[in-house]
Amino acid sequence: MHKILIVEDDMIIAKSIKKHIASWGFEAECVTDFKDVLAAFVAYSPQLVLLDISLPYFNGYHWCSEIRKLSKVPIVFISSASDNMNIVLAMNMGGDDFIVKPFDLNVLTAKVQALLRRTYDFAGQTNLLEHKGAILNVSDGTLNYAGVKIELSKNESKILQVLLENKGKIVSRDTIMTRLWETDSFIDDNTLTVNMTRLRKKLQEAGVVDFVTTKKGIGYLVE
């Protein structure tokens, strides 16, 4: 089931969209905290975003730009600002479609279905993991923090993925090495230490400090 994130501050419109697309078999969630739409996006991990332009705090163009730093997920703008300049700007910011308010819910659903088919018939889904503002994109092995994108090696990405999947729990060195072996990265204890050192250095250079804690003789922890 595809998940759709609705970023619309008019709750009457948002709830009517959610109810209608749910009747077509989609799962949907409406954003309620417009101060941090990106956090809602990461937490929900949708396959498509319906995004209004006029929003509290930051407009839809801002959030489209922030999402595009992390993901290629389809974004459909829904707005009454239907002049050519707004439509062109929406497309240039990374939008995939533009639907003018007021709109027919059946037309909206048809556009959503078509865009999902085009996108996911040919591409996999993006997997994002977030902690303290740092967002790991498992699909391309990058970490985004405060607008900075960090390129990670295959091993560094996998190590961070394992730790983020077990937030608040100590992960043993053996567990991490086993996960790396599963992806044909045959590393020993010394190699793991080298990879962890490189990962920590990259995190610190990007301003991500005290992110991974060493539990001596046991393993590592992301708290």
* 90 and 145 assigned to the same domain: no
Distance CA 36, CA 114 (A): 28
* 15 and 104 assigned to the same domain: yes
* 8 and 101 assigned to the same domain: yes
* 108 and 181 assigned to the same domain: no
Q: Which of 97, 120, 143 is the last residue of a domain?
A: 120
**Token pair belonging to 100:** 């003018």
* 114 and 141 assigned to the same domain: no
* Mean pLDDT taken over the chain: 86
Question: What are 185-200's pLDDT values in tens digits?
Answer: 667 778 888 888 999 9
Picking from 99, 54, 74, the residue whose alpha carbon sits closest to that of residue 2 is: 74
Report the pLDDT averaged over residues 21-33: 92
Predicted pLDDT at 126 = 57
* 134 and 213 assigned to the same domain: yes
Question: What are 32-46's pLDDT values in tens digits?
Answer: 999 999 999 999 989
pLDDT band at 123 (very low <50, low <70, confident <90, very high): very low
**Residues 6 or more apart in contact with residue 158 via CB below 8 angstroms:** 179, 180, 183, 185
Higher pLDDT, 139 or 9: 9
The pTM for the full model equals 0.63
Number of domains in the chain: 2
Range of the domain at 104: 3-120
Q: Which of 123-127, 188-192, 218-222 has the highest mean pLDDT?
A: 218-222
